[in-house]
Structure 1
Amino acid sequence: MWNITICVIGFYMIVFCYTSDIPSVNTKLGTINGLRKAIEFLGNEYSVDSYLGIPYAEPPVNERRFKKPEARGPFQKPFEAKDFGAACLQFSWFEEITDSSEDCLFLNVYIPGLKSDQESGHAVMIFIHGGGFTLGTGNTYIGETLAAVGNVIVVTINYRLGLFGFLDIDDENGKGNYGLWDQHLAIKWVHENIASFGGDNTRVTLFGESAGSTSVVLQSLYPGNKGLFRAAIAESGGITMPFTVPYNHITPATYFAKNMTCNTENKLEMLQCLQQAPADRVFKVIVDTITEDFSGGSVKVTLNPSVDGEFIKRRPIDLYQEARTEMLEEVEFFRSIIFMNGINAAEGAVFTIMHANPLDLDSFKVTREEMNNVVMPAAAALAFSFNRTVTDALKQLLLFEYTDWTNPDDPNTIRDQLIRFYSDVFFNVPAMELSQLHVNGTNAGSYMYNFRARVKGHIYPTPSWAKQSNHGDELGPVFGYNFRYNKILGISTYKPTREEQKLSLKIMTYWSNFAKTGNPNEPMIVPAGNVWPIYTPESQEYLTVDFEEDSVQNFMYVRELEFWRRTLPTFFDAVDQKSRFSSTVSSETGYCEKDGPCN
């Protein structure tokens, strides 16, 4: 994998050495040739080898559609890993995906030119991209800078999305979660082959953002991954986020089938029809549905992970409840993994913009009347995945909690409270209960962070009124601002400020330290950092990450967790109670006795 040096001894014992700039590795699958590149970061130059578009599975097409992936066999000749493989088939309103295909199970490997920190080889970081399980590709996230500066091997992967990755017909023949099985196979591929690239397969860390973070957690709860990785980093994504493991999968499956004139009365016939359908017809259904009605259409064609009895054995909310009284195999495995978990300060901004004019996000404001009558009812329905009626009583309770009573009618303040609502529902509360699940009874390290830096280089649409870090804002610093920006923002590149570069150096050091040792504080000194304490049930210490020196704080979002997981369930129990207490009318007083029935 390093420079190939050929030395020739001449007549007078003069040694001539020639160094090839084409890196190559020999694996059990065959020879793989890559690319060598010089990069610069904060005035320092690095060398990085890249191996792009390596197929880790057989193409999941034809009879392999809607089945677990099959490991790729040996290459018949040297594989030229110099270009990205196709992204998985998708309709993306966010990224410009022009090279998508059903044949998409590829991965990319980025190797630093520096000597590894241990004789056993480089620590390895496998990134799982986000995108709501319906869009995205590992190709967007260039691992060169993180690999070089952090001196770790970085791997990015593709996995099947949407219908192709998560079709579940509630039948043994079509149980879903194919995208999760793709991720598992890619992790296994790294375990079996990364030593050929100079990696240490005993020091593998998973990390991911948004749905990629949820994927990291689900992989960390699957005991079949035991021995394949030792640490995990969850960036802005838990398993109790609304819609993550929904109750109903057959409805979107049936929607696809009806739009492709498949028989929906017989599940096996429906599966076979969808399996045989041309991929472009499936894709057309997705495009037509979303373009006709973006928000409503997205719900119709969105398929997420499901309880299949094998990869996911129980719903997340049930898992949390059962883990309080008994030791579950998946929780035991999760607690054996070193875990870093975090959220950004204003994650909910990414959902708040749904209520705004997409052509003029900056002018969006919310009046009290709009919040009471339109916005909060819609937001609450989304928060409960449309599984609960938003009654007036529920709406009033939520409005009470999410109103700034020092200035309740100011449109800007109301908008900020809406951001807080979405942040709590989708990110803050799921993150907190996830860390508490991990830290209770674990012997492995557990760390939490809150990313608060208001960066300028966003990768998601972010209006000027979002005063704190939006969803995805940590990704720029994590990857050294090395993205295919032309695919995301339609620009050739983004030039981070000096302040952003310094922030990036700090975060890459935290992340790579964690991958190397399981401790974000060592072995490298973190520039402008702070000692990051272990998260414990007693102190609940976490690190606040910002441009300035980081600070240690306690009890992140404990009120929010209490409200959503204690107060609201008690409220629902009271409201849903069918029987009512009444008492007999007293002939003397003319009213019902306090504790008796009224006859």
Structure 2
Amino acid sequence: MNSWYLAILVIVFYEVGFCTAGEIPSVDTKLGTITGLRKTITFLGNDHTVDSYLGIPYAKPPVNERRFQKPEPREPFSEPYQANNFGAACLQFSWFEEITDSSEDCLFLNVYVPNSKPDESGGHAVMLFIHGGGFTLGTGNTYVGETLASVGNIIVITINYRLGLFGFLDLYDEDGPGNFGLWDQHLALQWVNENIAAFGGDNARVTLFGESAGSTAVVLQALYPGNKGLFRSAIAESGAITMPFTVPYNHIKPATYFAESMNCNVENKAEMFQCLQQAPAENVLKVIVDTITEDFSGGSVKVTLNPSVDGEFIKRRPADMYIEAKTEILEEVDFFRSITFMNGINAAEGAVFTIMHADPQNIDSFKVSREQMNNQVMPAAAALAFSFNRTVTDALKQLLLFEYTDWKNPDDPDRIRDQLVRFYSDVFFNVPAMELSRLHANGTNAGSYVYNFRADVGGHLYPTPSWARQTNHGDELGPVFGYNFRYNKILGISTYTPTEKELRLSNKVMTYWSNFAKTRNPNEPKTDSTGKVWPIYTTASQDYLIIDEEDSIGQFMYVRELEFWRKTLPMFFEAIDHKSTVSSSPSSKDGHCEKDGPCN
């Protein structure tokens, strides 16, 4: 993902030394000279100097005829580029994150460089982060990489990529083939590969990492053989490819909804594509805003577009790939197993979905009665779990209620709510994550690592109710980035001050992550800030690290849940969908069919 001109230039750069704080850092890349900003940050009482290069365009603006096309590399700068400010976020309606600077011209990246000697002569290890947001919202600008870069002594890069209709329109033909957002990410990796040496980076040591939909994107990139040589390791935080809605079956439906909302002809796909390509960006955004404002949950489904099976970047549906990989050699799985992989989930990820059933003005008081769970909540949750592709029959509902009931206290509203959190955690995060780690570990020599993040944190990245006592979706990101966020853009607060305990936790997590980037082993180089030795995950032992105030080792994480969702339920559906009936007539002798055979 990073590239360098000559190793000797990197060595000379670090032997000569660094500019003093306050000077303007500058690098000469293949695209031209780029200037940035230098600042000093303090973490756990230690000062670190870091150089930030913000808002670097890595592709031509994807507008006009380049809308709904693969991104094109940016041409060289005609004069020195001042990378002093974030570039615009990709066009979106921010449901809870305050993003006011979104634009269709949004393909920018940010580079954070520690002002210190690298751990190896070839240059700093590099980490490229892909933000989450359901492929619909978010920006790399939110995740400020200064602390992770300086404390971890690595280069950190955050990127924007096209979202929603602009990033994932797929009409299942040569017009609008989909996955433009994934191609954006791929081009950003190529940009790093060709230019990172100028920043002091080592393009032989690149790690891709992301959270939520960004984690899913990381996995999709790790399954695309065209990325060979662009990165050697990947970290997936709370996102996998078999999560519901990740690769939906129907992309025509949301595309048609947009087209109809803007009075396009939907009878002819070529005309529909042309109309969508020429529509003013503000008109597309207005459709999203109006639809979600009118009906948040139902509306968001109408205007959400995700990655699709395009035959090039994604060749088959994830569920099919898992089955085929058991008996066939698949190129994408081969590539996936060639990289070192870290995969993890938080203790109670499902809390982020559970609050959909609550009053948005009073999520802290949300409780669920047994009657509500039986007749309203579980049917709705089950429909979401199966992406609305399966009818939630009474038999299916009863089976799910049986599995997700605390039978010691079946009618306790708090326990019912906890079981709902468990349901969403299993469906969207736990089960997809564990089957992904099994896929990777089964046949790799590169190394697999798995974690479960359970530490108590404040400053949640997403709205979190007080009753969510375990770590919610996104809670690991504070420690990963050293609590360096644009909090005013997320939670509407000017800042968040982590406790001493949280800072120590963050130091440990950043050490694990930066170790992994440097050596492909979260334990090396060892430091006093790490806790237990993190074991390799294998399909036999299934060891994993529990990240907490005091770390510990666990085994066989969510094996029961994986068996239930991937074996028991399919057998149930098979029995329901293909029921066989035997019609028989009793014999005249005794009114019963013979024991060992059907009646004639």
* 1:292-441 equivalences in 2 (<5 Å): 292-441=294-443
Give the 3-state SS of the residue equivalent to 1:491 in structure 2. coil
Matched residues, number: 588
Answer yes or no: is the 8 Å Cα contact 1:582–1:594 preserved in 2: no
Shift of 1:134: 0.1
Give the 3-state SS of the residue equivalent to 2:229 in structure 1. coil
C-alpha distance in 1 between matches for 2:179 and 2:425: 27
Shift of 1:588: 3.2
Structure 2 match to 1:67: 69
C-alpha distance in 2 between matches for 1:413 and 1:577: 36
Sort the Cα spacing of 1:230 and 1:596 in 2 relative to 1 into closer, same or farther, 3 A: same
Structure 2 match to 1:273: 275
* 1:550-569 equivalences in 2 (<5 Å): 550-569=551-570
Q: Quote the RMSD (CA, aligned, Å).
A: 1.7
C-alpha distance in 1 between matches for 2:528 and 2:320: 39
Letter in 2 for 1:210: S
Structure 2 match to 1:575: 576
Structure 1 match to 2:5: none
Shift of 1:580: 1.2
Sort the Cα spacing of 1:134 and 1:44 in 2 relative to 1 into closer, same or farther, 3 A: same
Answer yes or no: is the 8 Å Cα contact 1:140–1:487 preserved in 2: yes
Answer yes or no: is the 8 Å Cα contact 1:55–1:107 preserved in 2: yes
Render the CA deviation track for 1:34-66: whole Å, top value 9, x for unaligned.
Answer: 000000000000000000000000000000000
Shift of 1:589: 3.4
Sort the Cα spacing of 1:598 and 1:128 in 2 relative to 1 into closer, same or farther, 3 A: farther
Structure 2 match to 1:91: 93
Shift of 1:171: 1.2
Answer yes or no: is the 8 Å Cα contact 1:32–1:78 preserved in 2: yes
Render the CA deviation track for 1:444-494: whole Å, top value 9, x for unaligned.
Answer: 010000000121110101111111000000000000000000000111110
C-alpha distance in 1 between matches for 2:492 and 2:20: 41
Give the 3-state SS of the residue equivalent to 1:234 in structure 2. strand
Give structure 2 stretches of 5+ with no counterpart.
1-9
C-alpha distance in 1 between matches for 2:82 and 2:474: 32
C-alpha distance in 2 between matches for 1:594 and 1:309: 53
Answer yes or no: is the 8 Å Cα contact 1:59–1:105 preserved in 2: yes
Sort the Cα spacing of 1:595 and 1:248 in 2 relative to 1 into closer, same or farther, 3 A: farther
Sort the Cα spacing of 1:406 and 1:109 in 2 relative to 1 into closer, same or farther, 3 A: same
TM-score by length of 1: 0.96
Give the 3-state SS of the residue equivalent to 1:229 in structure 2. coil
Shift of 1:526: 4.8
C-alpha distance in 2 between matches for 1:176 and 1:594: 59
Give structure 1 stretches of 5+ with no counterpart.
8-16
C-alpha distance in 1 between matches for 2:123 and 2:234: 19
Structure 2 match to 1:140: 142
Q: Do structure 1's residue 456 and structure 2's residue 458 form an aligned pair?
A: yes
Give the 3-state SS of the residue equivalent to 2:50 in structure 1. strand
Shift of 1:581: 2.5
C-alpha distance in 1 between matches for 2:472 and 2:519: 29
Give the 3-state SS of the residue equivalent to 1:194 in structure 2. helix
Shift of 1:361: 0.6
Structure 2 match to 1:445: 447
C-alpha distance in 1 between matches for 2:22 and 2:373: 64
Residue of structure 2 aligned with 1:471, choices 470, 473, 479? 473
C-alpha distance in 2 between matches for 1:573 and 1:152: 50
C-alpha distance in 2 between matches for 1:387 and 1:555: 30
Structure 2 match to 1:515: 517
Answer yes or no: is the 8 Å Cα contact 2:125–2:517 preserved in 1: yes
Shift of 1:324: 0.1
C-alpha distance in 2 between matches for 1:593 and 1:356: 57
Answer yes or no: is the 8 Å Cα contact 1:33–1:80 preserved in 2: yes
Answer yes or no: is the 8 Å Cα contact 1:581–1:595 preserved in 2: no
Render the CA deviation track for 1:410-468: whole Å, top value 9, x for unaligned.
Answer: 00000000000000000000000000000011110100000001211101011111110
Shift of 1:4: 10
Give the 3-state SS of the residue equivalent to 1:373 in structure 2. helix
Render the CA deviation track for 1:305-362: whole Å, top value 9, x for unaligned.
Answer: 0000000000000000000001100000000000000000000000000000111011
Answer yes or no: is the 8 Å Cα contact 2:126–2:517 preserved in 1: yes
C-alpha distance in 1 between matches for 2:408 and 2:259: 52
